Structure 1
C-alpha cells in the first residue's frame, strides 16, 4: 500500500481499474502530473476489496457503461467508497455517459476527449476538493437551510428529511446546496456546473449533464419524483429550489418535471 503520510503530508492516491483496453499511457502520466500515486489493474472480483483497502482519493474506471456489469461496478464503488469517481468510456456514446452519471460517477469522459480534457477534469476535481476543505474558514451564510421538511446541513454536508439522512453523493449534495443557497432564484445548468465542478461546459453539454444529476437528486429527495415540489424546472432557463413554505399543487408541479 502506498505511504500516504511521508514527511507529515498526506499524498493523493488514485486507483485505476479497467474492464477494457484503454490508453493507460495517457491516463497514468496525467495522474502523476497532478501529484497522484497510482495503482492500476484490470477489474476482477478483488477490485472492490482493494479499493476499500487503499481508500483512494480518486477512482478512475475505464469501462463501457453500456454493459450492465460495468454499470454495477460504478454503483458498487460509489456506494462503498468516498473517493471521487471518473469514468472513461468508449465514444461517442452520450447515452452511456448519462448512465454512468446516474450510477454514481462524478465525471464522465470519452476516449476521444483526449489527455488534455482528462487532465483538466482531474485538476478541476482537485480544486473543488481544496475549496471544500477551505469552506469552514469562510463565511458563506447560514450553516443550515430548511425548506419545509428538508434540511441541508452545510457543516456536515448532509441533507436530512424527517430525521433521516438522504444518501447523496458529494456532487449531488453540492448541486442541491448551490440551489439551496440560491433558493427562489432560477439558475442555469451552466451556472450549476461552473459552481460545483469549476469547469465551463457548453450550454448543450451542461443541460444533458445537469438533467441526469437533477433526476438522481429528485429520486432521493422528492416524495414523488414524478411531481417534484422541491426542485422545479423553469423551461428554457434552468432549475430552482422552491422556498415556499407549502408544497406546490400537483397540477403545477407536473409542469416542472
Structure 2
C-alpha cells in the first residue's frame, strides 16, 4: 500500500504545465502547480512535496535561484530541473546547485515519468509499504485491515494510527522526528511551527495497543532529541 506522491510543477508555459499535470495525475500523483518563480519557491519551502519539477526560465525568479533557495533550507528535497537549454554549462550549473536530475525540452513523457520514478526511488519515496508487519514473535499488524494481534489478543487501529506505524516501519533504520511525521503522515507544511501534541498523543495510544508494557516500550521507542523509532525487537 502506498500513499499518493505529492508533486509540485513550477512551469510558466501553460501548455506544458497542463500536459504535465494531466500526465502525473493519470499516473496517480497528487499535483500542485504554479507559473511564477517566487510562488514556486514559497510552495517548495512548505516541505509538502515529495518531488519538484522545476523549469529554469520563469517569471519572478529563475529555476537556478529557486533550486539554490530550496537547498539552503532542505538538502534532501528531490528536484528535477526542466529547461530548453541543453548545453553542458547549464546542466552542470543545475546539478551543482543540488538538482537531482536535469531534463531538456522537448522530452519524451515516458522518459520523464521514468526519471521521476528513479529519483523518488533513490530518495526512498513512493516505495511500497508492507501490508503486514511483524514485531518480535508476539505482535503482528495487518495494515490493510487496520488490525493486529498481540499475544493472541485482537487489536484494531484507526487509519492514522496504521499510517504512523507503516511510515515508522518503512524508515526503521533511523529515528523519525515529530515534524517529519506531521509532514509525511498528516500532510502539514514543513516548518509550520505548530504547537501541537497530536503526535505524542497518537504515540501514547499506539503504545497502549502494541506494547506488552506501555510504560516500558520495546517496539515503539523514543530516541531522545531525535524522535521515534519502530524496532523489530
Higher gyration radius (CA): 2
TM-score by length of 1: 0.42
TM-score by length of 2: 0.46
